[in-house]
Structure 1
Amino acid sequence: MKLCRIRTADGIVPAAVDAEGRLRSLEGHIGDFTCDSIAYGGLAPLEALELADLPLLDETDYAPILADIRRIFGIGLNYSDHAKESGLPIPEQPILFMKMCPASGANDAVVIPKGSEKTDWEVELGVVIGRRAQHVSVEKALDCVAGYCVVNDVSERAFQIEMGGQWVKGKSCDSFAPVGPWLVTPEEVPDPQALDLFLDLNGERVQTGSTSKMIFSVAEIISHLSRFLTLEPGDLISTGTPPGVGMGMKPPRYLQPGDEMRLGVQGLGEQRQLARAWEA
């Protein structure tokens, strides 16, 4: 299923995408998509619904895919060609960082932070955890997945690289985690390592990639992280970006107010964001 949360005049409505790509209200069938409601197969009863019989929604203002995404984990330099364009060695183990900002909707504006000159884009495959993962094997890791989504891992490179400490400073500014539009359940993604990704900036294709080029697969990432911390339902992992980020261009190119990003992952929908200047 392709599930989402839609902002309406009466509040956020849980919805599903039908076979014709139309949004169908799930009100009365689930209260909301939350860490608890997606956990341990909690979405399974929705599979029995006949979507064509459910009310249509006219609105398309996507809210974040969960009301309460628990934590956002990022994996750095997970495509060898992106590591090369960044001038950094290919990692021997997954590089972990945190995004401490709340998730935003798929088409919400990206705010260029105050004082920023190096705000960058990164299309990524997102993985939402649906059951506790602690010391899980690679072979069983995908059993812990509730669904997949598109993430734009927006990054401020000066904050991230030039100001000391960990990457979290450049990854956590307000609006730096557009997520969605949909949470796509695993039966629609039989192989997460066979998905194409893209990002267009002002109509120009700047990122093109495939999850087949990931250094560490989704299963390997989940297994690795579960050695050091317990992954819980509602955790989101952003699994890395292919080449074509602004930092890797010659000369580097960064977001300016008014720029438009359009990005997507095969089968998981598309995002569109306008960049705007910070305002007090």
Structure 2
Amino acid sequence: MTTYLWNPPPVQSLPVRGKAERLPINRLFFVGRNYHAHAVEMGKPVDKSVERPFYFTKSPQTLVESGATVAYPPETKNYHHEMELVLAIGAPGFRVAQEDAHELVYGYACGLDMTRRDLQLVARDKGRPWDLGKDVEASSVVSEVVPMQGRVLDKGELAMTVNGQPRQKSDLDKLIWNIREIIADLSLFYHLQPGDLIFTGTPEGVGALAEGDRIDGHIAGVGEISLHVGAAE
């Protein structure tokens, strides 16, 4: 039996609708700029005819469940929300063809990619990694996972509010790269595994949050998500 100097971190997991078992988390992948209107508001329009998706990752330890209260993070004055559809991978796959991508789908959830926008933009403009802006403690918020094995979502309203006021509203049919394309492309770089989560990108309307704010969001056919922003530590 292996012994350690101290206890290793616990397995990160999420509740699954209709099941007592929880879904263990492996890796967290994020698709950048996957809605045209959001790409434009970020000053980086996307031309799908000459570009392919790009990705960043976060530590699984950034995962928190919907309904939590998270502290306003340190070293930022521009803390942003990004509402997204999250895809849960349920089968291994490498170099997956688009027509076979549905075989890797276990289910879906609502997600929030919380971001230190000021630090992300400084890093972007200097050609540096985004880690300090994106890989933020308690920044990957996910609802319960809804099993939809083999199903590819291609439409459905995505919307969120802050303190009851509309902030983001779009539809999954506006994804630049759809679910099949994302799975196929990402599987060229990684051996996808059960428990991998893919945040598929956020639509326009991202914005700053303040201490005490409450986020509520939903994706049609998937579920709801909420988050409270607590005081800074």
Q: Give TM class, smaller chain.
A: 0.7 to 0.9
Question: Which among 204, 222, 225 is matched to residue 165 of structure 2?
Answer: 204
Residue of structure 1 equivalent to 2:103: 143
Q: Which amino acid aligns with 2:221?
A: G
Quote the RMSD (CA, aligned, Å).
2.0
CA distance in 1, matches of 2:16, 2:204: 33
Is the Cα–Cα contact under 8 Å of residues 16 and 146 in structure 2 kept in the other structure? Answer: no
Q: Distance in 2 between matches of 1:136 and 1:159?
A: 35
Select which of 158, 174, 177 maps to 2:118: 158
Equivalent residue letter for 1:147? G
What is the CA–CA distance in structure 1 between the aligned matches of 2:113 and 2:14, rounded to whole Å? Answer: 25
Corresponding letter in the other structure for 1:123: M
Change (3 A) 1:15 1:152: closer
Amino acid at match of 1:94: P
Number of equivalences: 214
Mapped contact 1:103–1:178 kept (Cα < 8 A): yes
Map Cα deviations across residues 12-51 of structure 1 (whole Å, 9 max, x no partner): 996645xxxxxxx73xxxxx32xxxxxxxxxxxxxxxxxx
Q: Normalising by the residue count of structure 1, what TM-score does the alignment of the two structures yield? A: 0.72
Q: Which has the bigger relative contact order, CA under 8 A and spacing at least 6?
A: 2
Matched letter for residue 166 of structure 1:
P
What is the aligned partner in structure 2 of residue 47 from structure 1? none
Structure whose CA Rg is larger: 1
2:140 pairs with one of 173, 177, 195:
177
Aligned equivalent of 1:124: 84
In 2: Cα distance, 1:109 partner to 1:264 partner: 18
Contact 2:211 2:232 (C-alpha < 8 Å) held by counterparts: no
One of 24, 44, 52 as aligned partner of 1:93 = 52
Q: CA–CA distance in 2 between the matches of 1:119 and 1:277?
A: 13
Question: What does 1:214-229 align with in structure 2 at a 5 Å threshold?
Answer: 214-229=175-190
Letter in 2 for 1:275: V
Alpha-carbon distance change, 86 to 260 in structure 1, aligned in 2, over 3 angstroms: same
CA offsets 1:187-215 (integer angstroms, 9 cap, x no match):
6x954111210010111111001010000
Which residue of structure 2 aligns with residue 111 of structure 1? 71
Out of 147, 155, 173, the residue aligned to residue 194 of structure 1 is 155
CA contact (8 A) 1:147 1:185 kept: yes
Paired residue for 2:226? Answer: 272
Identity %: 33
Name the residue aligned to 2:199: 238
- Structure 2 gaps, min length 5: 1-12
Q: Which runs of 5+ in 1 are unaligned?
A: 1-11, 18-24, 27-31, 34-65, 247-253
Q: TM-score, normalized by length of structure 2?
A: 0.86
Cα distance in 2, alignment partners of residues 113 and 84 from structure 1:
26
